[in-house]
Amino acid sequence: MLLPVKSPSFIMSLGEGATPLILTRRLNTHFGLHVLRIKDESRNPTLSFKDRGLCAAISKHLELGAEAFALPSAGNAAVSTSAYCAVAGVPAHIFMPEDTPQQFFNDCKMYGAVTHSTPGTISDSGRVMRQENGNWVDLSTTKEPYRVEGKKTLAFEIAEQLEWNVPDVIICPTGGGTALIGIWKGLEELEAIGLIGKERPRLYAAQSEGCAPVVAAFESNASTIKAWDNGQTQAYGLRVPSPFAGRLILAALRRSGGGAIAITESEIVPTRHFVAKMEGIDICPEAAVAIAGLRNLIESGMVDHDEDIVVLNTGAGVKYS
């Protein structure tokens, strides 16, 4: 049993996961790469990779007796929570920064969630949520264990889609770090049950220079992440000034032999449009950060042209338009 829910009756599935690992046909040639794949997480039920973690977490907490949920979110996790709470028929209380694109508020309300618009970043939304002190399970990123458990399925699927091999490199747009931590844990479990060997992909966290606390900590060889002041980026999911699981994020990056890369904010929109024109995929701004990060990694020689690369498209561009 690699996932936490024991009784199938508690699994609130909407058909999350099993997303395609798309072999690029033109972008790879443009970058001079042999193999570049995009794991297209926009195909999940609420159009982002958040569904993996929130399906697992909400299902498991229901099994443990939860009756209501709350979380601070940059947008995608909020929509996902709202949808899975709708399936379960339990209340969802959502706290989002007031400058989050309206579409995210609309989607949460459509699923029946109670939304709160708060000044500042996701950290401030979390503070407001905790002050309310409601009778709910707090689903804040990495403050409970089961969202990361759900994110392990990213590693399971990528390895399975490569016939139980791992790529050389995985690039994750990183905010709170659930994908990075989950992928690393998932690979360890695959090795423990003998489906892969000791080989690991190098994991890279991609962030915008507008809010890059993981990159700053990695580059200064720190073991914890210092809060980033006045974080601003249009890749809203990456505006996490103080990731709670800093130590785990840095450990996964270092143990994998990978690293962290920041790109300039002005690269985000052109990169998103470029990928759409080259591959027919409307990636989210966060994934544009990862693709621009890949370009920087190639130019700086940290990624070789003959390596097998996977980039996560963590969500759908359409929500931000």
Interface residue list for ligand PLP (CB under 6 A): 48, 74-77, 141, 173-179, 237-238, 284, 286, 314-315
Residue closer to ligand PLP by CB (options 19, 178) is 178
The least distance separating ligand PLP from the CB of residue 182, rounded to whole angstroms, comes to: 8
Instruction: Report, in Å, the least distance between residue 239 CB and ligand PLP.
Output: 8
Closer CB to ligand PLP, 67 or 150, in the complex? 150
The minimum distance between CB 240 and ligand PLP, in angstroms, equals: 6
Looking at the Cβ atoms of 7 and 321, the one nearer to ligand PLP is: 321
Secondary structure class of 200 (helix, strand, coil) = coil
d(CA 115, CA 202): 38
Closest to ligand PLP by CB, 195 or 269: 269
- Per the structure block, which two tokens stand in for 248? 């785990």
Give 89 or 312: the residue with its C-beta nearer to ligand PLP: 312
**Among residues 139 and 238, whose Cβ is nearest to ligand PLP?**
238
Cβ neighbour number for residue 305 with a 10 Å cutoff: 11
CA dist 313 and 34 (Å) reads 19
Helix (H) or strand (E) holding 310: strand 308-313
Query: Whole-number minimum distance, CB 245 to ligand PLP, in Å?
Result: 9
Token pair listed for 19: 């997303």
Write the DSSP string, 52-82.
HHHHHHHHHHHHTT---EEEE-SSHHHHHHH
Could you tell me the smallest distance in angstroms from the CB atom of residue 157 to ligand PLP? 16
Give the residue from 265, 279, 138, 161 showing the smallest Cα distance to 211: 265
Q: Minimal distance in Å, beta carbon 292 to ligand PLP?
A: 14
Q: How far is the CB of 67 from ligand PLP (least distance, A)?
A: 25
DSSP string, 12-65: --SS-----EEE-SSHHHHHT-SEEEEEEGGGSTTSBTHHHHHHHHHHHHHHTT
Angle, nearest 10°, between helix axes 102-110 and 76-88?
0
Closest residue by beta carbon to ligand PLP: 237
The angle subtended at Cα 238 by Cα 237 and Cα 239, nearest 5°, is: 95
Cβ 177 to ligand PLP shortest distance, Å: 5
If the CB atoms of residues 6 and 40 are measured against ligand PLP, the closer one turns out to be 40
Residue placing its CB nearer to ligand PLP in the complex, 179 or 294: 179
- H helix intervals, the chain: 27-31, 50-63, 76-88, 102-110, 122-132, 146-161, 178-192, 213-219, 246-256, 268-279, 285-299
